[in-house]
Structure 1
Amino acid sequence: MPKHIKKADLPAKTCAACGLPFTWRRKWEKNWREVKFCSERCRRTKSAPK
């Protein structure tokens, strides 16, 4: 992605564990379609959204 993009313009998803929205991160650039959780903690718990 080009530099200097506003955070509001980045794609966003809802976490499958906690239900909170999270935005695109550079480390997820290659596998953004497979990302389901906002953090490692949520990925480990994998509980239903609150």
Structure 2
Amino acid sequence: MRRKQHLPQKDCAQCQRPFPWRKKWACCWNEVRYCSSGAVVVPSSQASHGDSTKFWAGMYP
């Protein structure tokens, strides 16, 4: 049995945070670049996951 601390990790291409291997990525781990679907949507200038209010502030008058 593998322990979670022994799973491979990558750095997210958008937010630069490390994220571990997931079973759903077993067949395509080499192509995975982002930690979540939220990291893909957020523009580079708003790459911080913790502060989404700035992202939404400019979208509505």
TM tier relative to shorter chain: 0.7 to 0.9
Structure scoring higher RCO (CA < 8 A, sep ≥ 6) equals 1
> TM-score, with normalisation over the residues of structure 2?
0.67
2:40 matched to which residue of 1?
A: 43
Computed over aligned residues only, the root mean square deviation of the Cα atoms, in angstroms, reads 1.8
Unaligned runs of 5+ in 1: none
1:24 aligns with 2:15: no
1:9 aligns with 2:30: no
> TM-score, with normalisation over the residues of structure 1?
0.79
Q: Is the 8 A contact 1:11 1:23 kept in 2?
A: yes
Matched residue count = 47
Q: Is the 8 A contact 1:16 1:46 kept in 2?
A: no
**4+ runs of 1 displaced by more than 2 Å?**
none
Cα gap change, 1:26/1:46 in structure 2, threshold over 3 Å: closer, same or farther?
A: farther
Larger Rg: 2
Cα gap change, 1:46/1:31 in structure 2, threshold over 3 Å: closer, same or farther?
A: farther
